[in-house]
Amino acid sequence: TRKLGLTNRDLPRFRIYTSNQAHSSAEKTAIALGIGEENVIRVQSDEEFRMDVGSLGKTIAQDQQRGFQPMAVVATVGTTSAASVDPIPEIAKICREQKIWLHIDGAYGGGFAMLPEYRWISGGWGMADSIVINPHKTLFVPLDFSVLYVRDLERLRRVFTLVPEYLRGDTVEAEKNYMDYGIQLGRRFRALKAWVIWRSLGRAGIVARLREQIRLANLLTHVIKTDNPETIEARQSVRSRFELAAPVSMGVVCFRWVGSARRGVPTNEEQLDKLNSELVERINASGRAYLTQTTLRGRTVMRIGFGNVLTTEEHLREAWQLIRETADALSPA
């Protein structure tokens, strides 16, 4: 492939597999490689938005019967919408049996492995062929800063080494030249900003800030749950009602406005989708808080991600009050 490329050759169509909750970077990779985004197969996820291992194995087997060549599986630690964690040990077993490259996308969630109570998310990492973590997402380094771990670094060198005459004077055989391990020739000194941040905060400081993100996410989870009293009498005194849309394990909370106890909010799910989208748009337009939206199980949900070291509990309570007030304003009289 390095010499002749993929075109006009008698090669099978390669496939990349990832969950339906994974980041769109899988498709971008397929486009850049010339494989085509249609050959990125989105595998079903389970009730907790993790890749369904049974569906993965079945999909791979079906593709092999149809003449496709499984190329790679992308497992995620901290999916984009709900921050769920794929069952990597089980996925790795399939990849080993089928001799498929296993890449772990830990861009968001990988940093939480620093916490002793989150070591479980690193299960199966030792069986991966490559892992990526973005310290600019959860480890407080300014954009952009990504870390790539590769089981066999020599593979990258064999693919990317290309030294024309005009660069030979800049290379020394005994030294590692990073132009030999990727597309980019020159590189910025990205490591400096990471060194400064981590030296300043220290391991204890990083751990404390990660735990604060999780604490705020759990606090918001509690607020959402307690906004939905169990009894009819209690609900009559509460105007807007919300529900969690996904389990909360890291610093991301997905929730949905599902109606109002005092006013006639439509029960039609499609209408509620539109109202949830409008709620997000109104809040963001106010400039007082910022939410994102995503789709889970075919429904529009709101999403809050905690990552700014300056975010406090007071900010959270102010944002929640704004959310409730905006929901009330959207409720038809």
Q: What is the chain's mean pLDDT, rounded?
A: 89
Structural domain that includes position 127: 14-151
Q: Are residues 133 and 211 in the same domain?
A: no
What is the reported pTM? 0.88
270 contact partners, CB below 8 Å, separation of at least 6:
none
| CATH code of the domain in which 45 resides | 3.40.640.10
Q: In total, how many domains does the chain have?
A: 2
User: Taking 70 as the threshold, does the pLDDT of residue 231 lie above it?
Assistant: no
User: Taking 80 as the threshold, does the pLDDT of residue 125 lie above it?
Assistant: yes
Q: Are residues 138 and 235 in the same domain?
A: no
Question: In this structure, is residue 279 part of a structural domain?
Answer: yes
- For 134-161, the pLDDT digits (tens) are 999 999 999 999 999 999 988 988 888 8
Q: Are residues 283 and 215 in the same domain?
A: yes
Report residue 238's pLDDT band, with 50, 70 and 90 as the boundaries: low
Paired residues of 130 in beta bridges: 103, 150
User: Taking 50 as the threshold, does the pLDDT of residue 58 lie above it?
Assistant: yes
The domain boundary, picked from 111, 134, 151, lies at: 151
Euclidean distance between CA atoms 212 and 331, whole angstroms: 34
What's the N-to-C CA distance of the chain in angstroms? 64
How many of the other CB atoms lie within 10 Å of CB of 53? 18
Q: Give the phi and the psi of residue 249 in degrees, each rounded to 5.
A: -125, -20
For 96, the token pair is 């080993």
Euclidean distance between CA atoms 303 and 276, whole angstroms: 11
- 44-53, 223-232, 308-317: segment of lowest average pLDDT: 223-232
Question: In this structure, is residue 168 part of a structural domain?
Answer: no
